[in-house]
Amino acid sequence: MSSDIIFDEILDEIIALKGNNLKYISSEKTTKIIDINQNDKIISATRGPDVVNISFDRFKLAIDALIQNKPIHIDTVFNSSGNDRTIIETILCHTSHIGYMKAKTGRNKGKNKVIQYFNKWIHDTGKICDVSGEEFKSDNDDFATNEALNLSSYKPFLLLAGISGTGKTRFIREQVKDYPGQKNYCLVPVRPDWHEPSDLLGYISRISGKKEYVSTPVLHFITQAWIHIYERISEVRADGKIGLSQEQLDHIPPFWLCLDEMNLAPVEQYFADYLSVLETRHWYTSPELTAFNDNEGVDYGYVYQCDPLLKADTLSQQLDQNARTELAEKLGLDLNIALHQQIWASFCQHGIAIPFNLMVAGTVNMDETTHGFSRKVIDRALTFDFNEFFPNDFDAYFASALQPKRLGYPTWSDGRAITEVPELEQYSKESVTFLKAVNEVLQQSPFELAYRALNELMLALLAHHPANTAELVAIWDDFMMCKVLPRIEGDSNKLRSHQTADSDKSTESSQTEPNLLTDLEKALAVQFGSHWDGTRPDLFNCKEAAAGENSAPAETPHVPCRSKKKLAWMKERLARQCFTSFWP
């Protein structure tokens, strides 16, 4: 049956739906078709208090994608998500051949809800049907495989800590394995004599008698990441912002910069510019995006902006034309290509910012040759105790039972974007309660958490999209390991809890009494419930498929709570050495 015939049949059903309240897939909100103008080929439907006019062509585009019988995330169909995306999705799901699957439910292992067309009637017109059950499975269910093996990180800066030889550098290199032919991996060994940002980003030299910019592999790699973005979107905006669609985003891989032995030099010194600019990365939230699209007359699905790492005046004012041209060539730009000319002009006008597809990962060893980390660094990173998240199993050396998921770059920066995902509303409220319970223990100590921690916990929910309480607890547990426990260090006096410590007792006796770590254990035991003494899903690994299997296994591996084990280790170290920290 041709797509035109299928479209006409679905359109007849849509006409029959006029005037009905149609419930959204993932919330209690509704839309209503109030008019269908067949002359102008426009369907008018409500979106809250507003009316959205949607062309037949938009529906036809979605239907053409659906009739391949493969589950699709509706955002990937259009050049942008659009203000009408949810309306189109809702209306189509009320027709008799189209069903829906919520994120991480049944057959759908991915983080996004999807809809699917069937070559048969599956429900009455005006009703909706959940097709996540195995009875709806088809040969085209490969949508779950790739998503199950991939995970969006909620921070683009990672610290991989662990003893030497655990595979930290290899782990980073493996992240680009799915992108053969792409030059999206760069290994940079950190030198002990690095003490300022110019060691990473380069500097202006006059040794030759004229001003020239001495570039670095890091700056070259950052530029290549930007070139890749611009070549995919084929547009360089005059305001320096990046506007793109979901489809374009799907074709932009992460660029992994590995800073090997990152703390051989003081990170706070040579990495200062990156640490500051990292906080200026901003993805527009839905209200911001709607306002931007309306003001600019565009239809982007995403808009990204960031302050420059290398400021514009360094390029445009401190270098002459010859020096700028020479630098452009060093960075891999071909100024004979029109698009590259536009990219370079944008750099000279706005500076070179952090590209959204750049993932920075530092490998970390703690010994007598290395430097520690300040909370300024830890607060801006995701810290992974590599031995806990990706442990070496000697028995599985030749045939590993687990496969680490590939990590992608985040597409959120403001945790309040979670209000746009109704299915996460309850989990976000419970997570606020959880973080308040943790902060109750940490208050009046140097380790108290602020808004950044709350924002990043919401980003973690968006990245992992929990489907149940067990997965929510797993997010909390990993959040403690990645964001909270790495900040805690000190002796018995520094770790004395305001809730239980007795200031009149000696330091020696206080070591055996409840302290901040003990109080954290009690708080987490309450918040985690039965999972504290049991297990929880492992969100960063999946089980290796057996020989001959083409899809990822549905079963998720489970592990004991990582923070419980780490807190016990930190307490034992405090009792034994009168000092403790997260770092091995």
pLDDT at 552 over 60: no
pLDDT at 498 over 90: no
Confidence at residue 429, expressed as pLDDT on a 0 to 100 scale: 97
- Tell whether the model's pLDDT for residue 575 goes beyond 60: yes
Q: How confident is the model at residue 154 (pLDDT cuts 50, 70, 90)?
A: very high
Q: Residue 553: what pLDDT?
A: 45
Q: Give the pLDDT of residue 500.
A: 63
Nearest-angstrom CA–CA distance, 270 and 369: 17
- Give the residue-averaged pLDDT of 393-416: 88
Tell me the average pLDDT of the chain: 89
Burial of 48 (0-12, 13-18, 19+ CB in 10 A): exposed
Q: Are 254 and 407 in contact (CB under 8 A)?
A: yes
Average pLDDT over residues 462-487: 96
Q: What's residue 116's pLDDT?
A: 93
What's the first-to-final CA gap in the chain, in angstroms? 64
**What pLDDT shows up at residue 78?**
67
Least confident of 129-138, 479-488, 496-505: 496-505
Secondary structure element (H or E) that encloses residue 284, with its range: none
Which two tokens mark 113?
A: 């809800």
Angle at 275 between CA 326 and CA 240, to 5 degrees: 50
Q: How much is the average pLDDT of 536-548? A: 77
Q: What is the mean pLDDT of residues 338-365?
A: 97
pLDDT tens, residue by residue, 225-250: 999 999 999 999 999 999 998 878 88
pLDDT of residue 513: 60
Asked if pLDDT for residue 421 goes beyond 80, the answer is yes
pLDDT of 140 above 70: no
The tens digit of pLDDT for each residue in 500-529 reads 654 444 444 444 566 999 999 999 999 999
Q: What is the pLDDT of residues 156-214, one digit of tens each?
A: 999 999 888 889 999 999 999 888 778 999 999 999 999 999 999 999 999 888 899 99
- How far apart CA 80 and CA 32 sit, in angstroms, is 23
pLDDT in tens, 452-473: 999 999 999 999 999 999 999 9
pLDDT at 505: 47
What's the rounded Cα separation, in Å, for the pair 430 and 484? 18
Average pLDDT over residues 81-88: 74
The pLDDT of residue 545 is 58
Min mean pLDDT across 80-94, 193-207, 403-417, 501-515 is at 501-515
Residue range 55-76: mean pLDDT, rounded: 86
Q: What is the pLDDT of residue 508?
A: 44
Indicate the DSSP class of residue 557: P
Predicted local confidence at residue 363, as pLDDT: 96
Among residues of the chain, what percentage have pLDDT more than 90? 72
With H, G, I as helix, E, B as strand and everything else as coil, classify residue 122. Answer: coil
pLDDT band at 144 (very low <50, low <70, confident <90, very high): very low
Stretch (H or E) spanning 146: helix 143-148
